[in-house]
Amino acid sequence: MKKIVLLGCNDKTRAIVPILCKDASIASEICIASRDKSKCDEIRLKYQGSPVRISTARVDLNNESGTRMMLSIAQPDMLVNLTEASFSPIIMKLCLEIGVPYVDGTLFDIGAGDLLSKQFEFFGDFRKKNLTAVVGCDFNPAGITTLVRSSMEDDFDSIDSADIVEMAPKTVAKKMSIKELVEFTDEGESSLSASYIEDGKRVDLEDSTIKVVCKLPDNEEQTFWGKDNIIVEDFLKELPDVPTVRYYSTAVDNKPDTSILDELSKFGLLSKKPIEIEGVKIAPLDFISKLLENYDSDAPKNSEKSAHKADKYGMGIILSGKKNGEPKTSMIYIKDVAKCNAYAVIAGIRSVANKKWNRAGVFTPCAFKPSIMLESMKRDGFSYEMFDIAPIEVIKEGN
């Protein structure tokens, strides 16, 4: 692999670039492309002494002709989507046009329905072009399902349930952009809802009325509340052999002040449809979000129900099943979750670049052996512990 174009410049980009710069076997050059080229240049200057050459470019994915021109100059050997999930179909079409593989780190776009189904509509096109597209290569869901699939091969004969418990960092007041406020509103009350799989069927609750009380290493015993999370849907589609799946978090259930959205909506400033101004296309929402970056949304205070005591950020994947005919419950504990998204995306990029994931069509990481992704993540610093624990009790309030 010679040159990889990273589309998008954000926190994920800043986490991925230093890892790419250390491994010239993945690419000899990376190009960071974003609407704000100055942010790309900041990253380039920070790592300009690395063995991997870094270039930058300005790109507006709403401007298809401009994007094509940028790619014709860059001449990439792979496109990696680090932008919003809604751009995935656009970038996948571009991959088909220029004949390069595709990798992204998301399966979920708020308010956009089933993004994975939209991505899989390109399966036949990628197959005809003999190109590989890997979607959803983020720690959640790909890293989690990879760990579970590995345990299904090595540690269990069968798994009856997977309970994912996540210790989120202590909540602090956060300023949100206008776009984040819009996405929060589109999501509705899902932050207060819970969904889980029980006996192979999805169960949706209007409120977080399921919980578990358990202790993760390095933390005090905590209450984890059932939440809605993409991992539940991913298990349902990718790992139907695990009939019961639940996700819990200590994250605070809160609501920012969204009153400004009513005023902006009156003037059409929340539209996601691009308009053309002097030859440049931009969505009003993108413009107003950029203009009012980090709008003071009066982030709410923690609720007593979901406040927690620790600053540690960890995740436990609690698996219950059987081994050699005997009941078994184990916890996979990941201490440094904050870096895991970068490890997972890099694993996808490396595996496609080095042709360890080399199948024509559109796939999730579940289509490949879990050992490939795990070995790549460990190579970059990922680690976890696995140990047997006593079975946990799922508490359903009101029962």
Largest Cα span, the chain = 70
Q: Angle 245-247-250 (CA atoms, 0-180°, nearest 5)?
A: 160
Pairing of strands 222-226, 244-249: antiparallel
CA nearest neighbour of 147 among 382, 370, 391: 370
Range scoring the smallest mean pLDDT among 15-24, 56-65, 302-311, 355-364: 302-311
Looking at residue 304, what is its pLDDT? 39
Residue 178 CB contacts under 8 Å (≥ 6 apart), including other chains: 260, 261, 264, 270, 285, 288, 289, 292, 295
Model pLDDT, residue 295: 60
Q: Could you give phi then psi for residue 268, rounded to 5 degrees?
A: 70, 20
The mean pLDDT of 166-189, rounded to a whole number, is: 62
Q: How many CB atoms lie within 10 A of CB 287?
A: 16
Q: What pLDDT, on the 0 to 100 scale, is given for residue 86?
A: 81
0.85 exceeded by pTM: no
Question: Which pLDDT value is given to residue 116?
Answer: 72
What does the pLDDT read at residue 175? Answer: 60
The yes-or-no verdict on residue 152 having pLDDT over 50 is: yes
pLDDT (tens digit per residue) in 208-239: 688 999 999 978 888 899 988 889 988 988 99
Task: Encode burial over 254-275: b for 16+ CB neighbours within 10 A, e otherwise.
Answer: eebeeeebeebeeeebbbeebe
Give the helix ranges, DSSP H, for the chain.
11-22, 37-46, 64-74, 88-98, 115-120, 123-128, 144-154, 178-187, 230-238, 260-266, 284-291, 340-353, 370-379
Query: pLDDT tens for residues 45-62?
Result: 999 889 999 999 999 998
- H-helix or E-strand containing 208? none
The letter for the amino acid at 26 is: I
Best mean pLDDT range from 212-216, 293-297, 393-397? 212-216
DSSP state of 20: H
Integer distance in angstroms from the first to the last C-alpha of the chain? 57
197 vs 244: CA distance, rounded Å:
5
> How far apart, in whole angstroms, are the C-alpha atoms of residue 146 and residue 133?
18
